[in-house]
Amino acid sequence: MKLKTCENYSIYAYILMTYVLASVFYLLVTRFYGTPFKDAVKKHPDLMKIKMKSAEKRRNAFMIGILISIIVLTVCRPYGNIF
């Protein structure tokens, strides 16, 4: 697939906006999660399972943000059509 030069900037704009929207979604969702690993380690040093579970929840929140951003940008097309 060959992209036109003037349309390449639209692709970068969509990629950047997807990342920005996913980051905002991540911040909104995870602001109430707390820091269970750091809190637990203060009492019990061998609780890596808590860290892994927390990291998985945060990763999932970010990935959902990516998907939501792609859907919103696909529907709204704020930068025009790229293909």
Cβ-contact 18, 64 below 8 angstroms: no
Rounded Cα gap, residues 48 and 34, in angstroms: 16
pLDDT at 25: 95
The DSSP code for 66 is H
- Tokens 């990291």 correspond to 55
User: Whole-model pTM?
Assistant: 0.59
Render each residue's pLDDT in the chain as its tens digit; 83 residues. 555 555 567 788 889 999 999 999 999 998 888 887 677 777 776 677 777 888 899 999 999 999 999 999 889 888 777 65
How is residue 21 written in tokens?
């929207």
Q: Using alpha carbons only, give the angle 23, 69, 32 rounded to the nearest 5 degrees.
A: 40
